[in-house]
Amino acid sequence: MEISFSYPNLLYISFIIIPFIFYRYKTFLVQALKYAPAQHTKIKRSFNRVYFVILLEVLLLLGSIILASDPYQTTERSLIQDVGLDIALVLDVSASMQADDFEPNRLEYMKQVSKKFIEQSSGHRIGIYIFAQEPFTQTPLTFDYKTLIELVDSINYNSIDHSLGGGTAIGDALLASADGLLKSRLPNRDQVIILITDGENSHGTNPELAARYLASQNIYLFIIGMAGEEPIPVFVNGTPFITPSGKQLVTSLDDSSLKKIALAGGGTYFRAKTELGLREILTKISNLSKTPLELDRLIIKISYSHKFAWILFILFLAWVVFLGVFVRSPMR
pLDDT tens digits, one per residue of 20-45: 777 777 776 555 444 445 444 444 45
**Per-residue pLDDT tens over the stretch 151-161:** 999 998 888 77
Q: Are residues 39 and 188 in the same domain?
A: no
Give the pLDDT band (50/70/90) at residue 61.
confident
Give the predicted TM-score (pTM) of the model: 0.62
Q: Are residues 105 and 227 in the same domain?
A: yes
Q: Are strands 125-131 and 86-92 parallel, antiparallel or unpaired?
A: parallel
The verdict on residue 247 lying in a domain is yes
Q: Which of 213, 119, 106, 201 is nearest to 155 (CA)?
A: 106
Burial class (CB in 10 A: 0-12, 13-18, 19+), 126: buried
Number of domains forming the structure of the chain: 2
The verdict on residue 71 lying in a domain is yes
The verdict on residue 306 lying in a domain is yes
pLDDT at position 214: 96
The verdict on residue 266 lying in a domain is yes
The verdict on residue 36 lying in a domain is yes
Domain that holds residue 65: 4-76+299-327
Q: Are residues 10 and 55 in the same domain?
A: yes
Q: Are residues 166 and 43 in the same domain?
A: no
Domain with residue 146: its CATH number is 3.40.50.410
Q: Are residues 38 and 155 in the same domain?
A: no
Q: Torsions phi, psi of 137, nearest 5?
A: -95, 115
Q: Are residues 137 and 17 in the same domain?
A: no
pLDDT at position 23: 76
Give the pLDDT band (50/70/90) at residue 186.
confident
Question: Alpha-carbon distance 295 to 76, whole Å?
Answer: 13
Q: Are residues 270 and 187 in the same domain?
A: yes
Q: Are residues 286 and 176 in the same domain?
A: yes
Q: Are residues 71 and 89 in the same domain?
A: no
Asked if 303 and 72 count as a contact pair (C-beta separation under 8 A), the reply is yes
pLDDT at position 195: 94
The verdict on residue 35 lying in a domain is yes
Which residues partner with 193 through β-bridges? 88, 221
- pLDDT > 80? residue 329: no
Question: Alpha-carbon distance 234 to 244, whole Å?
Answer: 14
Q: Are residues 149 and 181 in the same domain?
A: yes
Question: Alpha-carbon distance 256 to 200, whole Å?
Answer: 9
The verdict on residue 332 lying in a domain is no
Q: Are residues 101 and 214 in the same domain?
A: yes
Q: Are residues 108 and 206 in the same domain?
A: yes
